[in-house]
C-alpha cells in the first residue's frame, strides 16, 4: 500500500501543457465562422421567401404580405 507524499516532497515538475497548433485553431475558427454566416443566410432566405413569396417554396399568393 502506497502513501501519498505531501506536496512539499513532490519534485518540481512543470505543468504538462498540450498546446493546439496555431494553424488548426485558425482554420477551425474560420470554418466555424463561415458555417455560422451560411446558416444565417439560409434562415434569412427562408424568412424573405415566406414574407414576400419569392417562388422558392412559397408562392406569392401564400406570402405573409398577401395573407
Using CA atoms, how far apart are residues 25 and 8, in angstroms rounded to an integer?
37
Residue 48 has what pLDDT? 95
Residue 25 has what pLDDT? 79
Non-local (6+) Cβ contacts of 51 within 8 A are: 63, 64, 65
Q: What is the mean pLDDT of each run of 10 residues along the chain (67 residues)?
A: 61 64 78 97 95 90 87
Residue 27 has what pLDDT? 86
Q: What is the DSSP letter of 21?
A: P
Residue 26 has what pLDDT? 85
Burial class (CB in 10 A: 0-12, 13-18, 19+), 54: middle
Residue 17 has what pLDDT? 67
* 38, three cell numbers: 451560411
Amino acid at each position: 500500500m502506497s502513501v501519498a507524499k505531501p506536496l512539499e516532497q513532490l519534485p518540481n515538475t512543470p505543468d504538462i501543457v498540450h498546446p493546439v497548433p496555431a494553424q488548426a485553431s485558425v482554420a477551425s475558427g474560420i470554418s466555424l465562422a463561415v458555417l455560422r454566416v451560411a446558416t444565417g443566410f439560409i434562415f434569412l432566405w427562408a424568412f424573405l421567401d415566406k414574407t414576400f413569396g419569392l417562388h422558392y417554396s412559397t408562392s406569392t399568393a401564400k406570402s405573409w404580405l398577401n395573407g
